[in-house]
Chain A
Amino acid sequence: MKKLILAVAVAVLSSCSSGRNYALAIVALVDVSGTYLDQKEEVINLIKKGIVPKLNPGDSLFVIRIDDESYKKSNLEGSMTLDVRPSKANAQKMAFAAKLDEFAKKRERARHTDIRGAMMLGAEYLKETGAGSRTMVVFSDLEEDLPKGVKRTLAPDEFAGMRVFAMNVKKLNADNANPTAYRARLASWQQQATSHGAKEFKVVIDPEKLDELLDH
């Protein structure tokens, strides 16, 4: 009888707690190629001001560098999963901000831009967290330039359940001359993201918008 009561109590309690994971996981991909290097500090500031304060205990953040070959573990500049206690989480955020500052100070410059490689690496990290809400924020000009011999083929469910935001997309000189090419580039990325399982793809121009999108 006691066992039955215990079983019923466990069943009731487990039915009360929500099975859904409400944690948020964000991957920020930062381009360090020649055409985007001048944006690096601004991007780091955007991450510090716009993404880090939005994170709650239990949330995760990964920062991945986009360079010649981005699908490498060493491209992960920093990662953190916030502690469940807000005071510890705040300390973690402070430490992570310091790490980001160090990354901003690094004077490295990539010859090529392997965006898909970074996206694939980021998607893997996002999937690993098991977070309920997964977001990928790409800080780049979105002009991919793979080195010779590097192949990047996205799996059909590469971005399954993820939202992809392209932020601070720098317009190149060629884009100013022909905006249609810029728009076509963005449309092609949108098509790639959504056709590989992304819930949505959005280009964010106003940094304030990121706040709203992360809240959504």
Chain B
Amino acid sequence: MERFYLWPEQPGASLFALWFFSQLIFWAGRVPMHRAFRSMGRVLFGGLRMAARWLKSISVSIAQRDREMVMEMARGDAEGKIAREFRRIENSFAKELNRYPKLHRKIDDLTSRLDSDYGECGSAPPAPPGWAEATAAVAKMPENGDGMVKKVLEEIHKSAQAGEKKALQEYRESTAKRHKILNGMASMWREVKALAGEAGKSVAAALDSTKRIDSYMATYEQTRKGDHKAVRAMGWQSTQLFVVSLIVLGVAIGGAFVNFNLIALPMSELVPSGSRIGGIPVSTVAAMVIVLMEIAAGIFLMEMLGITSFFPKMELLPLSRRRIILFVSLGGLLLLACIESSLAILREQIVESSSALKHSLAGISEKSVADPVFSRIPVVGQAVLGFILPWILAMVAVPLETLISTGGHIVLTVTAGTLAVLSIVMRVLAHGGRYLVEAVRHVYDIYIILPLQIERLATGGRGATPLREPANQQARR
């Protein structure tokens, strides 16, 4: 500061002189300075506004792309569900229609049998024609004391009684036979009822499927029309799936880490442990490769089972080839699980040997260290863990696919949101900047308040008028 003093020995006078000259210069340059401030404000405001608009437009276009993607996903999902239901119906119809002739024949057979049985039940044995009336007429004849007639009548009476008895007996036998037939019909009715129930169930299942198809079709229609509710619901569903997949994948990564640690040490027995790749021991790399191979085998297994669809080309393969790949990946996974299990046992042996070596070098007795009964538990535990972990890792394919398929939506949503926030920040900065420049302009005027007041007095109150913006610029704001 001192170097600006005009008279270094008189700082007060120097400071006053500096202030005075600055007042003069600032007052003289007030108009161009105000213009400069205004231009600066406009540049700042315009630039930031432009950036805000640009960010907003990008955010909107990304959101639009996200929306299209979600709609596409929803459409694909609904189509998949509808196709699945149609496949179910097709399978069910093929199965039921295949059974239908047999069922029809069976019902036909049963109804004809029932009909004949019913017919048989209906035919009662005929009564002896005219016997009752003839017997009644003979019985009403007056007794004339003729022994011959009496004998004849008695004989008639006896034979009538015998006939009645026989008829009754026949009737009873016929009734018993009918009852037997009716009894036989009951099982047939039950069979018919069961068949009808079965047919009813199939029809109900078909009706359920159609109801589901109806609801899927409704969703599909809504998605096709671009209904906001449906798109929002699908977006939320994608987010949920993403979060769940992320959690499951996190757990799987933990499992992979445990798995890796389980086999990293024993792998040094199989591969040269002295060599390194990029500073990492080959045994560590080999253990990592095994873990990754398990995941790869799991991906192929899930692909061939039709649970995931990472590789669309594989879906086009004939069933026989798909089956071969399925068995190869299954076999590979089993092999890796067995290898890991044995490596886990080997690991325990190496650890025990290293521990014994350390104790021996340190001069500690081994007896006081381990109990042989309990020392088997970690071996078994590690072997089981080594066998199970590859199968669990194989399941990673499912959350991985979900994560990838829903990741796009999440990335686009986050990007769109961030850009929107940035746009708002830019707008706020634009306004803030404009008002800040205005404030600086006012501070400038405050600094030269004395010359301004003098000017005002000298010009009779007309001086120091604030600069006006052109009307078209004000209107533009």
Q: Is A197 an interface residue (CB 8 A)?
A: no
Q: How far is the CA of A63 from the CA of B240 in the complex (A)?
A: 65
Q: How far is the CA of A49 from the CA of B349 in the complex (A)?
A: 21
Whether the pair A97, B360 counts as a contact (CB closer than 8 A) is yes
A16, A17, A85, A94: the one contacting B357 at CB < 8 Å is: A94
- Min CB gap B381→A, angstroms: 21
- A169 CB–B CB distance under 8 Å: no
Contact with B along A30-57 (1 / 0, CB 8 A): 0000000000000001001100110011
Q: Give Cα A52–Cα B359 distance, bound, in whole angstroms.
A: 12
The closest CB in chain B to the CB of A57 belongs to B273
**Chain B interfacial residues counted at CB < 8 A:** 21
Closest chain B residue to A45, Cβ basis: B363
Residues of the A chain whose Cβ atoms lie less than 8 Å from the Cβ of B279: 18, 20, 22
Complex: how many Å from CA A48 to CA B361? 6
Considering the complex, which residues of chain B in the window 114-144 have a beta carbon less than 8 Å from any beta carbon of chain A? none
The interface bits of chain B over 266-300 (1 if a CB of A lies within 8 angstroms of the residue's CB, else 0) are 00110011111111000000000000000000000
State the CA gap A62–B363 with chains docked (Å). 21
Pair count A-B, CB < 8 A: 61
Q: Which residues of the other chain, B, contact A94 by a CB distance below 8 angstroms?
A: 357, 360
Q: Is the CB of B361 within 8 A of A57?
A: no
In the bound complex, do residue B268 and residue A85 qualify as a contact, i.e. CB atoms below 8 Å apart? yes
Q: Summarize A's interface: helix, strand, loop or mixed.
A: helix
Across the interface, do B276 and A86 meet the contact criterion of CB distance under 8 Å?
no
- Cβ contact within 8 Å between A85 and B274: no
Shortest beta-carbon distance from B281 to chain A in Å: 8
A58 touches B273 (CB 8 A): yes
CA distance A87 to B353 in the complex (A): 7
Alpha-carbon distance between A84 and B358 when the two chains are bound, in angstroms? 19
Is the CB–CB distance between B273 and A85 below 8 Å? yes
Total A residues in contact with B, Cβ cutoff 8 Å: 22
A12-23 interface bits toward B, Cβ cutoff 8 Å, 1 = contact, 0 = none: 000011101011
Contact B361 A97 (CB under 8 A): yes
| Candidates A20, A87, A90, A97; contact of B276 at CB < 8 Å | A20
Is A93 close to B, CB under 8 A?
Answer: yes
Chain B residues contacting A58 (CB-CB under 8 Å) are: 272-274
What residues of chain B lie closer than 8 Å to A90, measured between beta carbons? 350, 353-354, 357
Whether the pair B350, A87 counts as a contact (CB closer than 8 A) is yes
A116→B395 CA distance, assembly (Å): 64
Nearest CB in chain A to that of B350: its residue: A86
A56 to B353, CA, bound (A): 14
Residue of A nearest to B268 (CB): A86
Q: Complex formed: what's the CA distance from A23 to B276 in Å?
A: 10
Interface contact A84-B272, CB-CB below 8 Å: yes
Q: Do A22 and B274 touch (CB < 8 A)?
A: yes
Compute how far the CA of A85 lies from the CA of B274 in the bound complex, rounded to whole angstroms: 9
Interface pair A17/B275, CB less than 8 Å apart: yes
Cβ of B362: which chain A residues have Cβ within 8 Å of it? 48-49
Residues from chain A with Cβ under 8 Å of B273 in the complex: 56-58, 84-86
User: In the assembled complex, which residues on chain B have CB atoms less than 8 Å from the CB atom of A49?
Assistant: 361-362
Chain A residues within 8 Å of B274, by CB: 22-23, 56-58, 84
Interface residues of B in 288-335 (CB under 8 A from A): none
B350 neighbours in A (Cβ, 8 Å):
86-87, 90
Kindly list chain B residues whose C-beta atoms are within 8 Å of the C-beta of A87: 269, 349-350, 353
Query: Is there contact, CB below 8 Å, between B278 and A85?
Result: no
25 pairs, A vs B, C-beta closer than 8 Å: A17-B277, A18-B275, A18-B278, A22-B274, A48-B361, A48-B362, A49-B361, A53-B357, A53-B361, A57-B268, A57-B273, A58-B273, A58-B274, A85-B268, A85-B269, A86-B273, A86-B354, A87-B349, A87-B350, A87-B353, A90-B354, A93-B357, A94-B357, A94-B360, A97-B360
**Given A57-B274, A90-B357, A94-B357, 20 new contacts (CB under 8 A):** A16-B278, A17-B277, A18-B275, A18-B276, A18-B279, A22-B276, A56-B274, A57-B273, A58-B272, A58-B273, A58-B274, A84-B268, A84-B273, A85-B268, A85-B273, A86-B265, A86-B268, A86-B273, A87-B269, A97-B361
